[in-house]
Amino acid sequence: SSVVEDQLDPFLLVEHELSILTNRLRSMVVAEVPKLASAAEYFFKLGVEGKRFRPMVLLLMATALNVHIPGPPSDAVVDALSEELRKRQQRVAEITEMIHVASLLHDDVLDDADTRRGIGSLNFVMGNKLAVLAGDFLLSRACVALASLKNTEVVSLIATAVEHLVTGETMQMTSTSEQRCRYTAILGSFRVSCFMHCDYFCCSMEYYLQKTYYKTASLISNSCKAIALLAGQTTEVSMLAYEYGKNLGLAFQLIDDILDFTGTSTSLGKGSLSDIRHKEGGDRGCRKGGGGRMAATRHGSGGDDGGQWCSRGGEEGIITAPILYAMEEFPQLRAVVDRGFHNPTDVDLALDYLGKSRGIQRARELAAKHATLASAAIDSLPESDDEDVRISRRALVDLTHRVITRTK
């Protein structure tokens, strides 16, 4: 690749700092009980650390918002202060990643997944109970690290993001269109009028976008804001950092949802809709692996909990933007969606409609709109002539393009 491209490669720009952060994460998740220790460190081991997308964004944001602390050039006090600030911002990146991994551990239990990051998921390898405990453990370690920052506003932002993860995950389990519409109706006056006058498509889309914000965008957006607050930025700048994270996260999830229909399981490293259809009727008579946005409900017991856990009705409502747009074009699809995809032929039927519709294209356009909003937030930051600041901002803008053009 060209030199220019490499200069903007977001991961290369923070490569060194990311590896330090990865090591710190490893030391932060050490537990005193051996069983818990091996569960907690599972996804922090070499080769399965994941993309570390969130820390990468947050470190770039930290540089992008760099303010020059006034003082004489090369003043030792000034240097010490900016070094201290950077450390605190790195803490936020570590906390964010730890919360993310905790949510993945719990998610894999809820989804009864068997793989994650190309290896066995923790619930699959050590059972549901330990996977839940390991997630709780990571969350509590993240809380301790958060407290050590001694900034109540930052604590509040991150705690809200955790609440949003839980809310978004629960919203995803709400399967009936009636329940979804009732939710959108209580959101606010605009949505009340939407509920009363506009159609099914409108409230389904509202619900989907709200759920997506909670599940995917809230953590990164609130963390971006925390980075800005730690830097002592104004409310305006903090909001721009928040807007960047929010719109980047939304664009990312929209593309993720598109790839669930168009991607293959080898390129994604996780299940996609196409192989879920082949997995039907697996060992426990349930569909496993997660990822399928239209996967029929999983009736199986998860892991070692003796079969008390049954997610009947859990997954049937996961219809995403492409299908929602297809439904707007082909109202007949609504009846199919409302049946909840218990029947594999309904999955095929929905895919046929999707193929005939502009659903994928319109979802891409929506992703592009959010990518544009994200890059506009960066462009609205107060000007800076610092070279590092400019490079980081360009990389953040460039990232919005990478997100919408990615194929895996």
Task: Enumerate binding residues for ligand FPP (CB under 6 A).
Answer: 50-51, 53-54, 99-100, 102-103, 106-107, 110-111, 117, 135, 139, 162, 165-166, 169, 215-216, 220, 248-249, 252-253, 256, 270, 290-291
Closest CB 71 distance from ligand FPP, rounded Å: 35
Closer residue to Mg ion (CB): 10 or 135: 135
Closest CB 72 distance from ligand FPP, rounded Å: 39
Helix (H) or strand (E) holding 42: none
User: Binding partner of residue 252 among Mg ion, ligand FPP, none, CB under 5 to 8 Å per kind?
Assistant: ligand FPP
Closest CB 107 distance from Mg ion, rounded Å: 4
User: Binding partner of residue 408 among ligand FPP, Mg ion, none, CB under 5 to 8 Å per kind?
Assistant: none
Q: Does 107 participate in binding Mg ion (rule CB under 5 A)?
A: yes
Closest CB 132 distance from ligand FPP, rounded Å: 9
**C-alpha span between 63 and 77 (Å, rounded):** 19
Residues 276 to 295 in contact with Mg ion, rule: CB under 5 A: 290
- How far is residue 294 from each of residues 6, 206, 297, 384, measured CA to CA in Å? 38, 19, 9, 47
Is residue 263 within 8 Å of residue 270, measured between CB atoms? Answer: no
Q: Does 256 participate in binding Mg ion (rule CB under 5 A)?
A: no
Closest CB 67 distance from ligand FPP, rounded Å: 24
Helix (H) or strand (E) holding 115: strand 115-116
Amino acid identity, position 244: Y
Quote helix, strand, coil % in the chain, to nearest 5: 70, 0, 30
**C-alpha span between 20 and 158 (Å, rounded):** 22
3-class DSSP state of 71: coil
Give the residues across from 317 on adjacent strands: none
As separate numbers, helices (DSSP H) first and strands (DSSP E) second, the chain gives 21, 2
Closest CB 47 distance from ligand FPP, rounded Å: 12
Closer residue to Mg ion (CB): 290 or 303: 290
**C-alpha span between 258 and 281 (Å, rounded):** 25
Closer residue to ligand FPP (CB): 169 or 305: 169
Closer residue to ligand FPP (CB): 170 or 332: 170
Closest CB 78 distance from ligand FPP, rounded Å: 32
Closer residue to ligand FPP (CB): 194 or 228: 228
**C-alpha span between 25 and 15 (Å, rounded):** 15
User: Binding partner of residue 240 among ligand FPP, Mg ion, none, CB under 5 to 8 Å per kind?
Assistant: none
**C-alpha span between 224 and 240 (Å, rounded):** 9
Amino acid identity, position 163: E
Closer residue to ligand FPP (CB): 33 or 48: 48
Q: Which stretch binds Mg ion (CB under 5 A): 102-110, 160-168, 301-309, 337-345?
A: 102-110
Closer residue to ligand FPP (CB): 45 or 68: 45
**C-alpha span between 381 and 241 (Å, rounded):** 9
Report the length, in residues, of the chain: 408
One of 17, 94, 97, 111 touching Mg ion (CB under 5 A): 111
Site string for Mg ion, 56-95 (x = CB under 5 A): ----------------------------------------
The torsion region of residue 312 among left (phi > 0), alpha (psi -120 to 50) and beta comes to: beta
Residues 115 to 174 in contact with Mg ion, rule: CB under 5 A: none
Is residue 210 within 8 Å of residue 164, measured between CB atoms? Answer: no
User: Nearest 10 degrees: CA dihedral of 210, 162, 312, 291?
Assistant: 70
User: Binding partner of residue 99 among ligand FPP, Mg ion, none, CB under 5 to 8 Å per kind?
Assistant: ligand FPP
The torsion region of residue 52 among left (phi > 0), alpha (psi -120 to 50) and beta comes to: left
User: Binding partner of residue 250 among Mg ion, ligand FPP, none, CB under 5 to 8 Å per kind?
Assistant: none
Q: Does 257 participate in binding Mg ion (rule CB under 5 A)?
A: no
Which positions touch Mg ion (CB under 5 A)? 107, 111, 290
